[in-house]
Amino acid sequence: MKLIAGNWKMFKGPGETRAFCEAFSAPEGAEAVLCPPFVSLPAAIERGHTIFAQNVHWADDGAFTGEVSAPMLLELGVRGAIVGHSERRQYFGETDETVARRTVAALGHGLRVIACVGESLEERESGQMNLVLRLQVEAIADVAGAHEGLVIAYEPVWAIGTGQTATPEQVREAHAFIKTLLDVPVLYGGSVKPDNAEELLSQEGVDGALVGGASLDVESFTALCRIAARL
């Protein structure tokens, strides 16, 4: 069964979240996960869907202004968390080390984790893709191993929010390489939408998708989940 996770980023307050969750019904045959902003988590959870946070700290509590811990998320009813998204790495100083720390802490508390990895366009064009992926994946593998609650999301940074999408060949190559480093499901993330989902999700080694913009519209996200359910 493929996993389709909708990362809403900094969109949808509680009101919009309730409206979306009331209109959305996950089809059988695929697992649908919604990842709203922190302030909208309770509104999403009360509608009965599987809800992940967009981040989680490694400490249970402490002087970490602006952060949220795994025990806090569990108390709300959150089932998992994204860690290491490229925007967290780019804008908020996330490193391979902090991503690994967040991953192992969340898994240790029983949260599921979608850990993101991916190369920039410069790194791909200079032939460093495998090196970058190896460093990112092995940092996670060293602390967590092939944990049953862990999923990797391959998101080429150059395809995040740009409208560009990796070719099926590029996706197969990257996913195959990641699976040689860590034997867990691997999602593809990078401008996934209904009109390219079937081609991407049908590639060998693609176990689902981490969806950004196309997850904000309930009809679009539903269509993606239905495509995944057919494959």
Interval 86-119: pLDDT, tens: 999 999 999 999 999 999 999 999 999 999 999 9
| CATH, residue 15 | 3.20.20.70
Residues 196, 180: Cα–Cα separation, whole Å = 26
User: Is pTM beyond 0.85 here?
Assistant: yes
Residues 32, 63: Cα–Cα separation, whole Å = 34
Q: How many angstroms separate the Cα of 167 from the Cα of each of 5, 125, 159, 163, 174?
A: 20, 15, 11, 13, 11
Amino acid at position 13, single letter = G
Please, are residues 186 and 207 in contact by the beta-carbon 8 Å criterion?
yes
Please, are residues 3 and 35 in contact by the beta-carbon 8 Å criterion?
no
The stretch 214-230 carries a mean pLDDT of: 98
Q: What share of the chain is helix, strand, coil (3-state, %, to 5)?
A: 45, 15, 35
DSSP, collapsed to helix, strand or coil, labels residue 66 as coil
Q: Choose the catalytic residue: 49, 57, 85, 147.
A: 85
Residues 69, 106: Cα–Cα separation, whole Å = 8
Residue 163 has pLDDT above 90, yes or no: no
- State pLDDT tens for residues 31-71: 999 999 999 999 999 999 999 999 999 999 999 999 999 99
The stretch 5-27 carries a mean pLDDT of: 97
| Annotated catalytic residue 198 | no
Structure tokens that stand for 114 in this block:
């979608």
- State pLDDT tens for residues 189-200: 988 999 999 999
| Number of domains within the chain | 1
Q: Choose the catalytic residue: 87, 119, 123, 155.
A: 155
Range of the domain at 176: 2-230
Q: Which pLDDT belongs to residue 121?
A: 85
Residues 171, 188: Cα–Cα separation, whole Å = 7
| Annotated catalytic residue 125 | no
Residues 194, 175: Cα–Cα separation, whole Å = 21
Q: Which pLDDT belongs to residue 129?
A: 92
DSSP structure class, residue 4: E
DSSP, collapsed to helix, strand or coil, labels residue 54 as coil
Residue 29 has pLDDT above 90, yes or no: yes
Residues 214, 8: Cα–Cα separation, whole Å = 9
Q: Which pLDDT belongs to residue 166?
A: 84
